Amino acid sequence: MKILLVEDEREIGGFVRDGLTGQGFVVDYCENGREGLELASTQSYDALVLDIMLPGRDGLSIVKLLRQRQNNVPIIIITARGEPEERIEGLNLGADDYLAKPFYIDELIARLRSVWRRSAGDGLSVLHLDDLSANLMTREVRRGDRAIDLTPREFALLVYLMRSPGRVLTRTQIFEQVWDYHHNPGTNLVDVYVRKLRNKIAEGDESPLIETLRGVGYRIQSAAK
C-alpha cells in the first residue's frame, strides 16, 4: 500500500513513517497541510493519514476539499485533541476512520488495511500475474499451489513490480518507492533484493518472471508475453 502521511510533529511523523515502511508500506511524508493537499490531489495513494492540526491547511479542510473533488481515497484522521465533536465532524466530512494520539503503530496498520479493504473490495486486494499471486491484505504470496515466504521489504518490492507489469522500472524508481530514500548510486541494494526475490518466486522449471534490462532496470511480465 502507498500511503500519504501528513503530520507536522516530526517525532511522531518519523515514528509512524518508519513503522509503516518497516512493514512494507510505501510512504510519502510531509509536514504541511497545503503540501499534503497538493500531493493528495496529484498523486495516487491507497490511503491517507492526516493530522487535524496542521500548518498551511488543517486536516478537516483537506478531507472536505478532497471529497468535494470526488476523490474517494480512504482517509484516517489522527488527533491529540479529545473533543468528540471534532472527530464526528471529520467523519461527517468524509473521513473513513480516526485515531487519537498516542496510538500503537500496529493499530494504525490494522485500520489502514481495514479502510483500504472496504474501499477496494476483495477483487482488488489480490494481484495476479500468470500463476503468481500476492494478497495485499494477508500478505500471502503463492506460485500456483506453492506458498512463498517473503520478508516485508521483499513483499513491497514484489507488489511495486506487479502493479506495473511489463513496465521497465529503474533502480532509482525502485529504491525511492520501496525504501523511501533518494537513490544512492553507490549501493547495490536493489540488485541484491531483486535477485533474492527472483530466486524465491522461481523454482525448477518455473519462469523467473522478473527480467533484468542491463544498464536500465527491471520489469516483471507474463512468461507468455
pLDDT top residue among 119 and 18: 18
- Reported for 186-190, long-range contacts at CB under 8 A and 24+ positions apart, including other chains, are 190/218
Q: pLDDT tier at 143 (50, 70, 90 boundaries)?
A: very high
What is the DSSP annotation of 128-153? EETTEEEETTT--EEETTEEE---HH
Asked if 175 contacts 218 with a C-beta cutoff of 8 angstroms, the reply is no
pLDDT for the residue numbered 55: 92
Q: Which fold has domain 2-120?
A: Rossmann fold (3.40.50)
Q: What integer pLDDT is reported at residue 209 of this predicted model? A: 93
Segment 159-166 mean pLDDT:
87
User: For the chain, which residues make up each domain, given as ranges?
Assistant: 2-120, 124-220
Q: Which of 4-13, 86-95, 112-121 has the highest mean pLDDT?
A: 4-13
Q: How confident is the model at residue 182 (pLDDT cuts 50, 70, 90)?
A: low
Task: Look at residue 214 in the predicted model and tell me its pLDDT.
Answer: 86
**pLDDT recorded at residue 199:** 94
* Banded pLDDT at 200 (limits 50, 70, 90): very high
Contact 133, 127 (CB under 8 A): yes
Using the structure block, give the residue that is written with the C-alpha cell 496510538.
103
Alpha-helix runs per DSSP H in the chain: 10-22, 33-42, 59-68, 84-93, 105-120, 152-162, 171-178, 189-201
47 — phi, psi (to 5°)? -165, 155
* Cβ atoms 181, 175 nearer than 8 A: yes
pLDDT in tens, 40-85: 988 888 899 999 999 999 999 999 999 998 888 899 999 876 667 7
Whether the domain at 2-120 and the domain at 124-220 fall into the same CATH topology: no
- What does the pLDDT average to over 191-213? 91
Per-residue CA distances from 168 to 17, 104, 165, 184, 211 (Å): 27, 37, 8, 19, 9
pLDDT for the residue 138: 79
With 70 as the cut, is the pLDDT of residue 145 above it? yes
pLDDT of 183 > 60? The answer is no
> Picking from 14-28, 177-191, 204-218, which range would have the lowest pLDDT averaged per residue?
177-191
CATH number of 124-220: 1.10.10.10
Average pLDDT of the residues in 121-147: 83
pTM for this model (two decimals): 0.61
Q: For 83-92, 105-114, 165-174, which range has the lowest pLDDT when averaged over its residues?
A: 83-92
Return the pLDDT at 84. Answer: 74
